[in-house]
Amino acid sequence: MISIREIDPADLALFDEWYDAFRAGAIAGREAALVVGRETLGFSLRTPGPLKRRIAVGAFEDERVLATLLFEYRLTDNLDTVEVEIAVPPEHRRRGIGTALWRWAVTRSAQLGRTIVQAELGVPGDPSPGAAFAERLGFQVEHVEEHLVVPLPYDDLRLDELRSAAGPLDGYRLTSWAGLCPPEHQQAYADLHTAMDLDVPTGGMTRELVPWTVEKLTASEARVDRTYLALVTMAHTDAGEPAGYTLIYLPRADAEHAQQDDTLVLREHRGHNLGTHLKLANLQQLAKHRTAQRFLHTWTALSNAPMRKVNARFGFRAVEEHREVELRLPRLRPAARGVILDEDDRVLLVRFEFPDGPLWATPGGGVEAGETLVEGLRRELIEEVGLTDFPDPPHLWHQEIVADGHATGFDGVINDYFLIRTNHFTPAGTLTAAELRAENVHAMQWWTLPDLDAHAERFAPRELPTLLRKLLDSGPPTMPTQLGL
Ligand SMILES: CC(C)(COP(=O)(O)OP(=O)(O)OC[C@H]1O[C@@H](n2cnc3c(N)ncnc32)[C@H](O)[C@@H]1OP(=O)(O)O)[C@@H](O)C(=O)NCCC(=O)NCCS
């Protein structure tokens, strides 16, 4: 049976196993995938910063990690958005594991009240499993960049050629540094970051921009500096006005790949070959600081013709498309529900009274933002029926219902159903009868399968008698089954 759950990144052996699957899934079939390094990601997961939350999720079978999801969201801006990265190693693909991880992401997004999901795809060519998977889920491609690579060490002769072709740099001076920005440049460097955010094309991706301040810059640099050495070259006019910058990240521990990140020349300073001069100066720094890195990666929007020209001059070769995709989710209220069976295979149901009539449903209810599904289920069952001790239950069914009238203030509900085997008991939770009635619960009853078959009223899920028969005949499914209404 496959179960999806968060991993504790402080459990180093488990994190290592998780990371191996993450990397294997991410690099398969790609010549030059750039995957965040083990140390960098481990540090980030174990030492959360104030701006972003990252969760490592695994698909487990027999306590082995088969596949992974990295789920991220920002804490002070972009509050509607989450980012997902699902990676399934090739030997475990096309079994529905990617989809099971995706459902975890949908449920957690709903718990957080977030409705925009973003992802990045490395697409070396068509057909691409990632692109097919994302399309099937309904993601739209909003922005495409070219991912380019040049081997290191950089060819000195080419640099000399480029330097003489670029000619002198009149009216500007360049300043380079490695590591943290010197205090005298912090304000200008922060302003250039803001200009970069405004200038860089991102297609139709939803993005709330937050201006950079010196405080934000120093906090971000201090964090990044733990795992990357930043190489920066900045351009000023002779009068001291900032005109542009370029930035390379050298990973401190994950030695293969370096990243050419931002390059910006402010609009009013374009057309002076400044981009080339900035890159030349920073490559000189790279030659000095490079340790074992064998490749320098960069990304440029297909629409950014001037930068693509500079890239070609510097010998970068396109290796794949980098697609940014986005999906809008309905606002769904997540709930965890227990399929509680006693020793005689009777199932415990609660009766809701709604304006359109009674409905017999499995006990359980809404999951709070900070809870896992099983934690929410345990709390709900204590409150509703008084069931306390049970081992972590198998996940049976997943149901997404987009329709009015299921939860006030929402576009619908997500129900995740879990199997609980228990001795027969008389339901009595911590909620009083009046409190239950306030939630429309008016009765509780154990049902045999024949009782269910003979009953003419409504069940939730609608096909409950059929689903239960299948469960009793065949046992829980390997992976949660997607239900209709
Ligand atoms: C994309 C990826 C996560 C899919 O994982 P998976 O476990 O194979 O996915 P599932 O089995 O749940 O596939 C669900 C559906 O996606 C589509 N799909 C997935 N892989 C596909 C492929 N190679 N070709 C065509 N369609 C594909 C199919 O519609 C599939 O349903 P089906 O098998 O019933 O036809 C996996 O291939 C992967 O890790 N790729 C590299 C990383 C990546 O691109 N991640 C996606 C970004 S978040």
Region of poorest pLDDT, from 246-250, 365-369, 377-381, 470-474: 365-369
Q: CA distances (Å), 375 to each of 63, 167, 364, in order? A: 20, 66, 11
pLDDT surpasses 90 at 327: yes
Ligand 1 centroid to residue 128 C-alpha, Å: 9
Contact indicator for 258, 248 with CB cutoff of 8 Å: yes
Tokens of 339: 């399929």
Ligand 1 centroid to residue 135 C-alpha, Å: 10
| Residue 121 host element (H or E) | strand 116-123
- Ligand 1: which of 61, 84, 104, 133 to mutate, judged by most atoms within 8 Å of the beta carbon? 133
Give me the residues paired with residue 26 across strands.
none
Q: Is 84 in the pocket of ligand 1 (CB under 6 A)?
A: yes
Q: What is the pLDDT of residue 275?
A: 92
Q: What is the pLDDT of residue 274?
A: 93
Q: For the chain, percent helix, then strand, then coil, each to nearest 5?
A: 30, 35, 35
Indicate which residue's Cα is closest to atom 9 of ligand 1.
98
pLDDT surpasses 80 at 249: yes
User: Is domain 333-482 annotated with CATH 3.10.20.30?
Assistant: no
Q: What is the pLDDT of residue 76?
A: 94
**Identical fold between 148-321 and 333-482:** no
Q: What is the pLDDT of residue 409?
A: 86
User: Can you tell me the distance from the alpha carbon of 164 to that of 184, in angstroms, rounded to the nearest whole number?
Assistant: 31
pLDDT surpasses 80 at 254: no
State pLDDT tens for residues 151-167. 999 888 888 999 999 89
Q: CA distances (Å), 403 to each of 106, 310, 331, 365, 481, in order? A: 17, 52, 11, 18, 20
Ligand 1 centroid to residue 136 C-alpha, Å: 9
| Residue 192 host element (H or E) | helix 186-199
CATH number of the domain located at residue range(s) 2-114 in this protein: 3.40.630.30
Q: Is 130 in the pocket of ligand 1 (CB under 6 A)?
A: yes
Q: What is the pLDDT of residue 150?
A: 95
Q: What is the pLDDT of residue 266?
A: 96
What ranges do the domains of the chain cover?
2-114, 148-321, 333-482
Region of poorest pLDDT, from 67-71, 100-104, 354-358, 469-473: 354-358
pLDDT surpasses 80 at 384: yes
pLDDT surpasses 90 at 129: yes
Q: What is the pLDDT of residue 380?
A: 96
State pLDDT tens for residues 402-456. 987 777 889 999 999 999 999 999 999 999 999 999 988 999 999 999 999 998 8
State pLDDT tens for residues 297-317. 999 998 888 888 889 989 999
Fold of 148-321: Aminopeptidase (3.40.630)
pLDDT band at 326 (very low <50, low <70, confident <90, very high): very high
Q: Is 139 in the pocket of ligand 1 (CB under 6 A)?
A: no
Q: Percentage of the chain with pLDDT > 70?
A: 100
Q: CA distances (Å), 122 to each of 35, 145, 305, 328, in order? A: 10, 10, 21, 21
pLDDT band at 190 (very low <50, low <70, confident <90, very high): very high
Q: What is the pLDDT of residue 201?
A: 83
Q: What is the pLDDT of residue 175?
A: 97
Region of poorest pLDDT, from 211-215, 221-225, 255-259: 255-259
Q: What is the pLDDT of residue 61?
A: 95
Mean pLDDT value across the chain:
94
Would the pTM count as exceeding 0.85?
yes
The single-letter DSSP state of residue 368 is P
Ligand 1 centroid to residue 94 C-alpha, Å: 6
Q: Is 121 in the pocket of ligand 1 (CB under 6 A)?
A: yes
Q: What is the pLDDT of residue 217?
A: 97
Largest CA distance in the chain: 90
